[in-house]
Amino acid sequence: MSDYILEMKDITKDFPGVRALDKVNLKVRRGEIHCLVGENGSGKSTLMKILSGFYPHGDFEGEIIFEGKPQKFRSIHDSERVGIVTIYQELALIPELTVYENIFLGHEIKSGRLIDWNKTIAMAKQVLEKVKPDLDTSRKVKELGVGHQQIVEIAKALTKNVKLLILDEPTSSLNEDDSENLLKIIKDLKKQGITSILISHKLKEVVEVADSITILRDGKTVANLNKEDGFSENEIIKYMVGREIEDIYPKRKKREFGDKIFEIKNWKAYDKTLGRYVVKNANMYVRKGEIVGVSGLMGAGRTELALSLFGNPKNYAVEGEMYFDGKKVRFRHPGEAIKAGLAYLSEDRKGTGLILDFDVKTNITITGLRQLVRGFFINDNEEIVLAEQFKESLKIKTPSIEQKVLNLSGGNQQKVSIAKWLFVKPKLLILDEPTRGIDVGAKYEIYTLMNKLVEEDGMSIIMISSELPEILGMSDRIYVVSGGRISGELSREEATQEKIMTMAVDY
Amino acid sequence: MNFIQELGVLLKKNIREYGMYIALAFIMIIFTILTKGLFLSARNISNLFNQMGYIAVLAVGMTLVIVIRHIDLSVGSVAGFLGAIAAALLRNNFPLIPTILIIVGLGILVGLGNGFLVANIGLPAFVATLAGMMIFRGALLVFTQGTGTIIIMNDTFNAIGNGYIPDIPNNTNYHLLTIIIGLIVVAFYIMSDVRTRNNKLKYNFEVLSMRMFVLKEIFISAIIFYIFWTLASYNGISWTFAITLIITLIYHLLTTRTALGRHIYAVGGNPDAAQLSGIDVKKITLFVFGSMGLLTAISGILYTSRLQSATPDAGNLFELDSIAAAYVGGVSAAGGVGKVINSLIGALVMASLINGMNLVGVGISLQYIIRGAVLIAAVVFDIKTRSSAK
């Protein structure tokens, strides 16, 4: 069992001012699923970028041996030629093209100088046979869900004669169902002899699929675990953070709730472009000081529900009654909702949450600039003082509040996103996937902050999340959304993963 | 760190910011040599500022349009059309002030119309304003069909593009008020820089070292004062130059210090995030196109007044000249990036090129080629330094 398809030896990589990788070793056996885990910033992505040739040979120290031969990749092209294909978190598909066009994009099947479309379609079907036989190859990629788009990416990799498939957090934006599906595909590929490296934050799935695990911390290899010796999540976490986390979810001191601050009755939202209801007859309420979890599968209508409440920026046709802070309301745009005391943390912090080119300070204050205006102008002193306070209280790690958020890590970006909403002192904070794609340490800090907000500041929180443990660990009450309607409500005491899943798939 | 090293580091770090000024200095030196000093003569500098005025005003507005990821191709035709209306009104002895108010009002209306098509109806700005470009060019031709060129006899109106601010009585050969204004501008510049620096020091932000700061203040103050001194030795500040500077100053303050300005850049940087942060993207779009319309009207007035007449081809290619000036000034088509002051300098770079080449006697065909090459060089420089600066 020492047939290694890949060995990376003593890899060291420096960025200006920081050592990203320090003599990292990675050995991957032929035909296994090798999981690479570590907190954000531990060096996983850098290591994979070295392997794929994104950082060319000479840009780092150390040696890459693939299939017994030392390799000197100068570009991604070089690594793909020997059969190493990476699928990134941000998918590299063209939404307007069909599945089969995407699969062969860049290496089209030609007869003579022209593309042979019949053969392309036939080959696409053949390759999809291995992963997802029922996927219609003539559909445009933009019409597919994220789960199916991932599958198209894998199919694309298969046509490139892949020997080693690298998946960078493939399940981070998938629901439980799609995740399971994807993992099954990776296991199937293993049977067909394809080796995979899987980067993931979801330790449960790591434990489930991995044959061996390499754990990185602060740019160093800290552990190498094999399936034969058995895995445990706690052990992995211990290695990742270097300490035992007794409880991932911080204890709440009190659970006392005030009056209903928010309620909707028979709430409906009709999406004119999709031509269907995205929210159907929803009834829910939130009390003062309460954390209400909203669970459900991806595409169940959770984000749509939140947006329809938060000033309806997508212009759904909205019906029903909404009460907020004792008044019957209907917000016409997000500005009105914010003014009334509602805030919405976007699920997509880079796409719709932050202005990446702005610095930390201006991202935080953009939601309520008018508070800072004296006469005609923004008072920059006050702005700096306020931004510094948030940097301190939320422990945002940045050299300065004048740093562009583009340059911050995911966890710190998320803290900036939260700060910009705390800046307007909302009464009800809707958090849409507040811990997606951030590391264990930052997650813990965000959970602690949520508890503080409801306990000390009397805020109320609606937390939308795809991660069941998070929903169970943090919520006082749980609503489950399925197919645009609320399919169930559970108290903290009665909720279990099984009960939630049953409601989530109940159409 | 010794002085030369520090200067080197500083230049390298801010090469993007300073690149345009270096290019401007380079162009000016070349033409000064080629024309044996004529280029930098008081008369020519004064002339240069007057030539650049109507494009610079458009470039300032165009900067905001490009910052929010749109474009306005109609400004040239609209400026020409509004100029002709002004000429016609004045010829029929309509009083001056109401004429100007009407023209400015019409300009804002046209701009809001463009903004409405883009923000509310959802037309791509390129298409909406391309249509505007055709429509107003046609309207201008119709309007001047019967009359041909409309000569303007109103001296006050013509002074806007050709006259100079009055002086306070004195017995020197210099335009004393211009020198005083120059001193005031320098004083304001230094005060504002000192205030910013002290503020940054208070919060431990990175600032220039004291000697660098003093050197920079002296250097820039000297240049500013030299410009005003040169103008003072001729006829003083022209009305066009004054209007251009005041508009740039207002827009500079608007974009850097007000909530509205911040919102404009937020919409440009990430429209979705801006909307979810409570910013009304439609309103911002309407405002930016409306402001473009206002500046188009002012540009039309400046140009018509300078020619003392309205011609059928007035405003031809203004849209492209102002877009070029903004790009030379470093705005990004990807949105959210661009400063109005830099666009003013961009306009000055392009105007200097034209002025210099005219003095040297370069043919019009070659002039276009050179201007095109400079535009590409400027944007390439911008892209290269942006990716390296991060």
Give a yes or no: residue A254 inside a domain: no
Strands A18-29 and A4-15: antiparallel
Q: What angle do CA B126, B129, B130 make, to 5 degrees?
A: 75
Are residues B269 and A357, on separate chains, in Cβ contact within 8 Å?
yes
pLDDT at A468: 81
Give the rounded distance of the alpha carbon of B179 from its chain centre.
23
Residue among A335, A353, A377 whose CB faces B273 most closely: A353
Contact of A381 with chain B, judged by CB distance below 8 Å, is answered with yes
Chain B partners within 8 Å of A402 (Cβ): 205
* Nearest CA-CA partner of B24 in B379, B351, B327: B351
Which helix (H) or strand (E) segment is A458 a member of? none
For residues A159 and A273, membership in a common domain is answered with no
Which helix (H) or strand (E) segment is A10 a member of? strand A4-15
Strands A377-378 and A220-226: unpaired
A462/chain B closest Cα distance in angstroms: 17
Kindly report, residue by residue over A446-502, the tens digit of the pLDDT.
999 999 999 999 999 999 998 888 899 999 999 999 888 999 999 999 998 888 878
* Nearest CA-CA partner of B247 in B298, B287, B178: B298
The answer to whether residue A112 scores a pLDDT higher than 90 is: no
CB atoms inside a 10 Å sphere around CB A242: 11
Contact of A310 with chain B, judged by CB distance below 8 Å, is answered with yes
Kindly report, residue by residue over A55-94, the tens digit of the pLDDT.
999 889 999 999 999 999 999 889 999 999 998 877 788 9
Per the model's pLDDT, the better-predicted residue between A213 and A19 turns out to be A213
For residues A196 and A312, membership in a common domain is answered with no
Best probe of the A interface among B197, B276, B279, by most A CBs < 10 A, is B276
Percent of chain A with pLDDT over 90: 55
Are residues A335 and B278, on separate chains, in Cβ contact within 8 Å?
yes
pLDDT at B116: 98
For residues A281 and A391, membership in a common domain is answered with yes
Q: What is the mean pLDDT of residues A371-400?
A: 91
Q: Which of helix, strand or coil describes residue A262? A: strand
Q: How far apart are CA B343 and CA B324, in angstroms?
A: 9
- A162-198 burial, b if ≥16 CB within 10 A, otherwise e? bbbbbbbbbbbbbbbebbebbbebbeebbeeebbbbb
The answer to whether residue A181 scores a pLDDT higher than 50 is: yes
pLDDT at A1: 45
State which of A241, A271, A295 marks the end of a domain.
A241
Are residues B278 and A367, on separate chains, in Cβ contact within 8 Å?
yes
Q: How far apart are CA A103 and CA A105, in angstroms?
A: 6
The answer to whether residue A194 scores a pLDDT higher than 60 is: yes
Q: How far apart are CA A131 and CA A155, in angstroms?
A: 7
State which of A214, A241, A268 marks the end of a domain.
A241
Residue B284 half-sphere exposure toward CB, CA atoms < 13 A: 25
Give the rounded distance of the alpha carbon of B276 from its chain centre.
32
pLDDT at B390: 39
For residues A226 and A265, membership in a common domain is answered with no
The number of domains in chain A is 2
Which helix (H) or strand (E) segment is B23 a member of? helix B15-34
Contact of B207 with chain A, judged by CB distance below 8 Å, is answered with no
The answer to whether residue A246 scores a pLDDT higher than 60 is: no
Q: Which two tokens stand for residue A138?
A: 């003539």
Amino acid occupying residue A43: G
pTM of the model: 0.81
For residues A232 and A327, membership in a common domain is answered with no
Backbone angles phi, psi at A196, to 5 degrees: -130, 145
Contact of B253 with chain A, judged by CB distance below 8 Å, is answered with yes
Q: Which two tokens stand for residue B74?
A: 């109609």
Contact of A402 with chain B, judged by CB distance below 8 Å, is answered with yes
Are residues B278 and A357, on separate chains, in Cβ contact within 8 Å?
no
H helices then E strands: how many in chain A?
Answer: 16, 24
For residues A179 and A275, membership in a common domain is answered with no
State which of A180, A212, A241 marks the end of a domain.
A241
For residues A222 and A363, membership in a common domain is answered with no
Using 50 as the pLDDT threshold, list the residues of chain B that sit under it. 389-390
pLDDT at A16: 64
Is residue B177 within 8 Å of residue B220, measured between CB atoms?
no
Only one residue has tokens 């004429």, namely B99
Q: What angle do CA B360, B364, B370 make, to 5 degrees?
A: 80
A465/chain B closest Cα distance in angstroms: 19
Contact of A335 with chain B, judged by CB distance below 8 Å, is answered with yes
Backbone angles phi, psi at A120, to 5 degrees: -55, -50
For residues A223 and A267, membership in a common domain is answered with no
B345/chain A closest Cα distance in angstroms: 23
For residues A297 and A432, membership in a common domain is answered with yes
pLDDT at A296: 84
Alpha-carbon distances, residue B269 vs A356, A475, B19, B262 (angstroms): 8, 35, 23, 10
- B279-315 burial, b if ≥16 CB within 10 A, otherwise e? bbbbbbbbbbbbbbbbbbbbbbbbbbbbbbbbbbebb
Chain A partners within 8 Å of B272 (Cβ): 351-352
Are residues B199 and A351, on separate chains, in Cβ contact within 8 Å?
no
Q: How far apart are CA B231 and CA B233, in angstroms?
A: 5
Q: Which two tokens stand for residue B337?
A: 């990036």
Chain B partners within 8 Å of A379 (Cβ): none
Residue among A352, A402, A407 whose CB faces B276 most closely: A352
Q: Which domain holds residue A340?
A: 260-504
* Nearest CA-CA partner of A37 in A391, A354, A439: A439
Are residues A354 and B274, on separate chains, in Cβ contact within 8 Å?
no
Radius of gyration of the CA atoms of chain A, in A: 24
- Cβ burial, residue A502 (10 Å; 0-12/13-18/19+): middle
Kindly report, residue by residue over A394-421, the tens digit of the pLDDT.
999 888 898 899 888 888 999 999 999 9
Are residues A356 and B270, on separate chains, in Cβ contact within 8 Å?
yes
Give the rounded distance of the alpha carbon of A140 from its chain centre.
23
pLDDT at B1: 62
Cα maximum dimension of chain B: 72
Are residues B263 and A373, on separate chains, in Cβ contact within 8 Å?
no
A306/chain B closest Cα distance in angstroms: 12
Q: Give, as one character, the DSSP assignment of residue A57.
A: T
Q: How far apart are CA A437 and CA B52, in angstroms?
A: 51
Q: Note the ipTM here.
A: 0.87
pLDDT at A2: 60
Strands A460-464 and A291-296: parallel
B51/chain A closest Cα distance in angstroms: 33
Are residues A333 and B280, on separate chains, in Cβ contact within 8 Å?
yes
A70 in the Ramachandran plot: left (φ > 0), alpha (ψ -120 to 50) or beta? beta
pLDDT at A201: 74
For residues A294 and A359, membership in a common domain is answered with yes
A22/chain B closest Cα distance in angstroms: 25
For residues A147 and A272, membership in a common domain is answered with no
Q: What is the CATH number of the domain that holds A473?
A: 3.40.50.300
For residues A308 and A337, membership in a common domain is answered with yes
B217/chain A closest Cα distance in angstroms: 22
Q: Where are the domains of chain B?
A: 42-163+238-316
- Cβ burial, residue A289 (10 Å; 0-12/13-18/19+): buried
Which strands sit side by side in the sheet containing A18-29, from one edge to the other?
A: A18-29, A4-15, A61-66, A69-70
Best probe of the A interface among B277, B280, B388, by most A CBs < 10 A, is B277
